[in-house]
Structure 1
Amino acid sequence: MDADITVRNNTGRGRYELLDDGAVVGRAYWAAFDGPAGPERIFFHTTVDEDRAGQGLASTLVRQALADTARSAIGIVPVCPYVKTWLSKHPEQTGVVAVRPEHLAALPSAEPTA
């Protein structure tokens, strides 16, 4: 991974951000949810800027976002198709919670904006 690539959780915007030399080039959006076993984070949309596609950046973003979420003892709810696919290739990831109808009902109705 490029030394200038970092990932941060922007809790105010409900997303993990992938930064390249300080510029946001990718986003993994999440919604907080109060689950029956404790707090959960519903990951519902992941995107990387089009000009950065094909460089493995979405995988870097999702890997770090899910690892940070699991370290924080927050359940991971994979609604986003990319997150679901990533998890299918990384069964070692802990903290995954099955998607339930109430998770879907809690999501924002509009597509997130950059």
Structure 2
Amino acid sequence: MSEVKLRLDARKRGAFYIEEEGKQVGEMVIGVSETALTVYHTEVDENMSGKGLAKLMLDEMVDYARKHELQVVPLCEYVHVQFKRHPEEYQDVWKK
């Protein structure tokens, strides 16, 4: 199973990402502030499409937001669609 990792710079900008065989195959670009986690973009390598990697990164991002008591601002279309499809699952972290 693919492991989701997080990298953040000193300004708390970065991404959740997945690597397979030393190559990045998925990325969810984020920014973190005092109260919010903004998701800008999610992308999965087209060769890895359909394997649930975007959902893995989504779950990891939501777990991180909950642990750090952050509200998620879903500027990314993928995250916004998932939040709209499953509002009960994400209502505690969704900043509308």
TM-score scaled by length of structure 2: 0.81
SS at the partner of 2:81? helix
User: Which amino acid is the alignment partner of residue 83 of structure 1?
Assistant: V
CA RMSD of superposed structures (Å): 1.7
Alpha-carbon spacing, 1:22–1:31, altered in 2? closer, same or farther (3 Å): same
> What is the Cα deviation at residue 90 of structure 1?
2.6
1:10 matched to 2:4: no
Q: Is the 8 A contact 1:25 1:52 kept in 2?
A: yes
- Structure ranking higher in helix proportion: 2
Moved over 3 A (4+): none
Q: Output the CA distance in 2 between the equivalents of 1:73 and 1:67.
A: 10
2:95 pairs, out of 84, 97, 100, with: 97
SS at the partner of 1:69? helix
Larger Rg: 1
- Of 77-86 and 57-66, the range deviating more from structure 2: 57-66
Q: Is the 8 A contact 1:16 1:28 kept in 2?
A: yes
| Structure 2 spans left out of the alignment, 5+ residues | none
